[in-house]
């Protein structure tokens, strides 16, 4: 089998970094850059090198802004952000060296295997929110949050965000060409309209990413760039809860809030959204734990409500199959998933009977 010949960019970059990095292969390319897998010769570790396309590097203002903002992004240090190790220019080449993530981007992962499991959706989106919050606190807006810019580690599935700030640097000084920085499927209305954007624009894009991760479909669908632009400006996406099962209601409502057209209606910060997701994760885990402890077939959200009723009578119950063990029941106050009081009473009565049988009383 004959291997494809290296590209002109591959050969030029290898010549520029010879002795420091050994290029292995091209990982991918797009309008904003070409990414190569390389080995850091001195540290004997794999890295990724992103090269600014030569046609853009030839524009002095684009080149300067790219370097300035890439160096600013290199100052970010967060476990959910792909680190930038070096930002350099050699002759006509402009590039930066970043950590190599052994894994897969969220976008290809969903296209290959379908939506994430509910627990993974919440974990990944929260990790991305923490990363965005870290960048926003330092004055950096991503402007191109999307599944393809979220990398998932092969071991453990940790989410890492890539390409902070680079889309903005290209957008700011590229001659008018009808091309917007960002990805129309995930762009906020204010970014589409050319208004000044802030952290809340990234939250809109994160909401669209969460929608895709949970359902395998876009919140607003079209067959053209113009169609996506029109829909994000004028149409309201369907409620996530109407399409995704297994996610806490408050989480789906939080995602819906991120997709509000008016930035003021969204969360004020990515950190606020991350904290809301954390609260939903904890509640879901409590519900699962309680249902498991009961050993009944009661639906998990409803078991949590019954557990609170039990907690009103006693903080502890002893139960088990072989050995009786003492377990603390966690109090839960979310009644949003239960509105049938007669059914609640039936569940309560059946659960009490079950516990009396288990604990011998």
User: Could you report the per-residue pLDDT of 186-231, keeping only the tens digit for each?
Assistant: 999 999 999 989 999 999 999 999 999 999 999 999 999 999 999 9
Cβ–Cβ < 8 Å for 160, 29: no
CB neighbours of residue 231 within 10 Å: 19
Distance CA 104, CA 320 (A): 42
Beta bridge partners of 308: none
Residue 185 in tokens: 């499927």
Q: What is the pLDDT of residues 113-171, one digit of tens each?
A: 999 999 899 999 999 999 999 999 999 999 999 999 999 999 999 999 998 866 565 55
Instruction: Note whether 120 and 157 are within 8 A (CB).
Output: yes
Question: Quick check: 82 pLDDT over 60?
Answer: yes
For residue range 244-290, list pLDDT tens digits in order.
Answer: 988 888 899 999 999 999 999 999 999 999 998 887 666 656 555 55
- b/e string for 246-273 if b means 16 or more Cβ within 10 A? ebbebbbbbbbebbbeebeebbebbbeb
The sheet with strand 93-99 has its strands ordered as: 21-30, 33-40, 45-51, 93-99, 84-90
Residue 231 Cα distances to 62, 95, 234, 267, angstroms: 30, 35, 5, 22
Interacting residues of 110 by C-beta distance below 8 A, sequence separation 6+: 116, 147, 212, 213, 216
Distance CA(331)–CA(314), nearest Å, equals: 11
Check pLDDT > 80 for residue 66. Answer: yes
61 vs 182, residue with greater confidence: 61
Tell me if 48 sits within 8 A of 58, measured CB to CB: no
Integer Rg of the chain from CA: 25
Q: What are the φ/ψ torsions at residue 218 (nearest 5 degrees)?
A: -80, 150
Distance of CA 84 to CAs 81, 91, 94, 96, 146, Å? 9, 21, 14, 7, 19
Segments of 271-350 assigned E as strands: 316-319, 325-328
Q: What sign results for the dihedral spanned by CA atoms 183, 185, 186, 192? A: positive
Give the pLDDT band of residue 172 (cuts 50, 70, 90). low
Q: What is the pLDDT of residue 10?
A: 95
Q: What pLDDT does residue 182 have?
A: 79
Question: Do 193 and 237 contact (CB within 8 A), yes or no?
Answer: no
259 in Cβ contact with 218 (< 8 Å)? no
CA 176-182-185 angle, 5° bins: 120
pTM, rounded to two decimals:
0.76
Beta-strand pair 33-40/45-51: antiparallel
357: CB partners within 8 A, 6+ apart: none
Counting every residue written for the chain, the total comes to 361
Q: Given the residues 40, 92, 144, 148, select the one marked as catalytic.
A: 144
Task: Determine whether 337 is an active site residue.
Answer: no
Angle 106-113/199-215 helices, nearest 10 degrees?
A: 20
10 Å Cβ neighbour count for 119? 14
């Amino acid at each position: 089998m004959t291997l494809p010949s290296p590209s002109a960019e591959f050969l030029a970059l290898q010549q520029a970094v010879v002795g420091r990095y050994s290029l292995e292969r091209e990982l991918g390319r797009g309008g904003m850059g070409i990414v190569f897998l390389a080995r850091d010769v001195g540290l004997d570790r794999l890295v990724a090198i992103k090269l600014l396309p030569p046609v853009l590097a030839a524009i002095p203002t684009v080149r300067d802004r790219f370097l300035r903002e890439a160096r600013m992004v290199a100052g970010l240090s967060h476990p959910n952000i792909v680190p930038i190790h070096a930002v350099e220019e050699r002759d006509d080449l402009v590039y930066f060296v970043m950590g190599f993530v052994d894994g897969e981007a969220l976008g290809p992962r969903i296209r290959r295997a379908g939506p994430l499991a509910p627990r993974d959706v919440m974990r990944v989106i929260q990790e991305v929110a923490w990363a965005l919050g870290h960048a926003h606190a330092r004055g950096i807006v991503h402007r191109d949050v999307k599944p393809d810019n979220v990398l998932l580690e092969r071991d453990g599935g940790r989410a890492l965000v890539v390409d902070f700030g680079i889309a903005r640097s290209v957008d700011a000084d590229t001659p008018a060409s009808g091309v917007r920085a960002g990805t129309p499927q995930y762009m906020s209305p204010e970014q589409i309209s050319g208004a000044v954007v802030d952290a809340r624009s990234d939250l809109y894009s994160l909401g669209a990413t969460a929608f895709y991760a949970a359902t395998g479909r876009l919140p607003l669908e079209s067959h053209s760039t113009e169609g996506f632009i029109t829909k994000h400006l004028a149409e309201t996406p369907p409620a996530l809860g109407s399409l995704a099962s297994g996610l806490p209601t408050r989480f789906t409502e939080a995602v819906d809030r991120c997709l509000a057209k008016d930035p003021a209606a969204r969360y004020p910060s990515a950190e606020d959204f991350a904290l809301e997701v954390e609260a939903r994760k904890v509640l879901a885990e409590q519900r699962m734990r309680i249902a498991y402890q009961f050993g009944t077939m009661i639906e998990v959200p409803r078991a949590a409500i019954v557990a609170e009723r039990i907690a009103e009578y006693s903080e502890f119950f002893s139960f088990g199959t072989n050995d009786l063990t003492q377990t603390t029941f966690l109090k839960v106050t979310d009644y949003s998933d239960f509105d049938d009081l007669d059914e609640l009473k039936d569940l309560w009565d059946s659960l009490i009977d079950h516990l009396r049988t288990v604990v011998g009383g």
